[in-house]
Structure 1
Amino acid sequence: MPEHLQLLDLAIIGVGLTFAYIIFGITGFGTALIASPLLAFFIPVDKIVPLLALLDCSAAITNVLRDRKNAVISEVKRLVPLMILGSLLGAAVLLYTNPDSLLIYLAIFVIAYAIYSLSGFKPTAQYTTKASVPFGFIGGIFSALFGSGGFIYAIYLSGRIPDKNSIRVTQSTLIGLSTFTRIVIFFVAGVYSDWSFLTMALALFPAMILGVFIGRRITIKLSRENFLKIINVVILLSGIALLIRALL
């Protein structure tokens, strides 16, 4: 575990991650959008994505194992090759640029996503298979660079698949594959050679498990739409706070 982190810091991070994985348990994505603004106050920006990759991959596996039969494999096959190419580009940008300069882009990304979600915009026309090219590639870039391409895949899948449960499970499958790709890239780059970093990921693992469990319970009692409206307001406020920090 990084030496500069105190037990109180770890506790705050754990609570934040639990909250983030509640969202993951409901939607199958969105962890980085909530966790990244918080983590940026405690660890370097370039360490956030590798950390969340380890936790997201485990969370995605947990989700997919239960409902894997509902995944639309044909869409997964279209998106994965493009997702890998985008992830390679995004990882290169993340690893070979000044991490501090990424903070403002992360803030803008979080705010933009929150505004998009709160706008209530939904695609009205069904996408063709050709749409998988930009959505898959850009989703891969966002996944590696900011730790979340899930909302991009969600836009595409909601314009291709009519069943909500199939969208969620297919998306969880993509997130699992996406995070696994990132893990391999970061492992080859030597990011995971720091044992204190791996120790921190292990210490936060229970928060991920608890969040996913609570998220599943909430889906039974609360409508997804109303809950996400509250969450998107929190995301927007977090992004604004992070942008202020980046500009100071």
Structure 2
Amino acid sequence: MLVDLLGQWSFGAVDWLAIGAGIALAYIVFGIAGFGTALVAGPILILFMPLSKIVPLLVLLDFVAAFGNLVPSRRDVHRPELLRLLPCMGVGCTLGVIFLLNLKSDLLLLLMGLFISAYAIYSLWIKARPTMLSTAWAVPMGVVGGTFGALFGSGGFLYAIYLNSRLPKDQARATQSALISCSTVVRLSLFSVAGVYADGPLLVLAVCLLPAMGLGLWGGRRLARRLSREAFVRLVTWLVLASGIALIGRYLSA
């Protein structure tokens, strides 16, 4: 029965190896930074399946991964920052769904890539910069992060920028995991209502990729524990830059 359900994908052994490696790499990044799965795994998975299947697939895996990250670190969640960002993220997700249903997102994709690449280059280049953002930044970071998350599956970098400027590393990661958990619940609900998961093979594929996801999370968590706060923030900034370049590349290849 499993073969029948996966029959539509027609994956060979090398295909499965590449897909599994892409998922593992994406969740190593997720385990370290708490975001980036769509931007890391997307360019690999697009070789084997359409984007319309990739985003719902990664939402399923992100749902499991985010709660897996949240459970052991829930005591580190900084509730004031979480409650400050959640309403803004909710507004952003609503706007993102409206834009997704009514606008062409290719130009937004390019603008997003240019913006976050410019920010990352600035952050890496300028050493003397404010160490803490004002709480007022929760509004644009939350709204735009929610919007980008609904449009492109990749708004977590904005939460990371804000939280890493205000909280210690463990609290920032735990609070971001809580935010990503809430975001995936919203997106999972929207895809479910739209009937996306009525497609049996997609659910089975997600289950088959759970071991690769688990391996990536395990590796990412081990790496994150060995990093100082400064090294962690710098690594997140490099990941943000890579995400921006990936978005620009996706726009140019579309």
Report the TM range for the smaller structure's normalisation.
0.7 to 0.9
Worse-superposed segment, 118-127 or 225-234:
225-234
Worse-superposed segment, 86-95 or 168-177:
86-95
Gaps (5+ residues) in structure 1? none
Return the offset for 1:58.
Answer: 1.0
C-alpha spacing 1:220/1:210, structure 2 compared with 1 (3 Å) = same
Of 120, 126, 135, the residue aligned with 1:117 is 120
C-alpha spacing 1:230/1:171, structure 2 compared with 1 (3 Å) = closer
Worse-superposed segment, 119-128 or 170-179:
119-128
Distance 1:49 1:107 in 2: 18
Worse-superposed segment, 200-209 or 87-96:
87-96
Worse-superposed segment, 75-84 or 123-132:
123-132
Return the offset for 1:60.
Answer: 1.2
Percent of pairs with identical residues: 40
Tell me whether 1:182 sits opposite 2:187 in the alignment: yes
C-alpha spacing 1:199/1:103, structure 2 compared with 1 (3 Å) = farther
Tell me whether 1:195 sits opposite 2:200 in the alignment: yes
Of 11, 15, 31, the residue aligned with 1:9 is 15
Of 61, 80, 89, the residue aligned with 1:74 is 80
Distance 2:100 2:201 in 1: 20
Of 69, 90, 93, the residue aligned with 1:84 is 90
C-alpha spacing 1:117/1:2, structure 2 compared with 1 (3 Å) = farther
* Mapped contact 2:120–2:241 kept (Cα < 8 A): no
So what's the TM-score if we normalise by structure 1? 0.83
Of 206, 215, 226, the residue aligned with 1:210 is 215
Root mean square deviation, CA, Å: 2.8
Tell me whether 1:142 sits opposite 2:145 in the alignment: no
**Counterpart residue number, 1:170:** 175
Q: Which amino acid aligns with 2:95?
A: L
Return the offset for 1:181.
Answer: 1.2
Distance 1:218 1:158 in 2: 17
Tell me whether 1:29 sits opposite 2:67 in the alignment: no
SS in 2 for 1:29: coil
Gaps (5+ residues) in structure 2? 1-5
C-alpha spacing 1:44/1:108, structure 2 compared with 1 (3 Å) = farther
Distance 1:112 1:207 in 2: 32
* Mapped contact 1:46–1:95 kept (Cα < 8 A): no
C-alpha spacing 1:180/1:49, structure 2 compared with 1 (3 Å) = same
**Counterpart residue number, 1:242:** 250
